[in-house]
Structure 1
Amino acid sequence: PYKCPECPKAFKGSSALLYHLRGHTGLRAFRCAQCGLAFKWASHYQYHLRQHSGERPYRCPACPKAFKNSSSLRRHRHTHTGERPHTCG
């Protein structure tokens, strides 16, 4: 296993460790050409780019709403199903 030198976590592959290490180093490899903001994670960078473009690629199949990321769509879909996945028991 590949052990993190900063915390107790270990990983099966070196690429997973390198991905994890970005959380410790503060390295922000993804810089927005429009405003200069920089991000550690590609997914956060992609979401940020949609702030500039207005793109909302995740469309609800039950209504006209669209979202910038899949997790927002997933959360929204509960309004149609009535499902409450995080209720207190």
Structure 2
Amino acid sequence: MESPYSCETCEKSFSHRSRLTDHMRCHTGEKPYSCDTCGNNFSQRGHLTAHMRCHTGEKPYVCNTCGKRFSYSSAHRRHMIIHKKRKPYSCDTCGKSFSQLSNLTPHIRRHTAEKS
């Protein structure tokens, strides 16, 4: 795909002028989208839309396997690892594996506490 719109600051290229406009805000710090509920400001409309879910409780991302719902696509993707049985994080001490690094870390601490 052709990318005729280039950032003069970092040379990234974009296929649409609006994408370049959004990108430029990372250099200028401009945050024109404001949350009416808490006052947080965002550089992109999509970020405000996602943020609003913390106020509304909306959970548009659904796991087709178990039905659990999520507010953010990233949380949905993390959850799907459970169903794929992929557990890339393993304990060097006992070999137990985990789907998320955040679950391995406290597990390792338990081994350390046992030695104390």
Shorter-chain TM-score bucket reads 0.7 to 0.9
Tell me, yes or no, if structure 1 residue 14 matches structure 2 residue 11.
Answer: no
The normalised TM-score by structure 1 is 0.79
Larger mean Cα displacement after TM superposition, 51-60 or 14-23: 14-23
Amino acid at match of 2:41: A
The normalised TM-score by structure 2 is 0.63
Displaced runs of 4 or more, over 6 A: none
Larger RCO, structures 1/2 (Cα 8 Å, 6+ apart): 1
Tell me, yes or no, if structure 1 residue 63 matches structure 2 residue 51.
Answer: no
Match of 1:38 among 32, 41, 55: 41
RMSD value over aligned CA atoms? Answer: 2.2
CA distance in 1, matches of 2:88, 2:30: 35
Paired residue for 1:3?
A: 6
Q: How many residues align?
A: 87
CA offsets 1:38-62 (integer angstroms, 9 cap, x no match): 1012222112101111111111111
Using the aligned pairs only, state the percent identity.
Answer: 42
- Structure 1: runs of 5+ lacking an equivalent: none
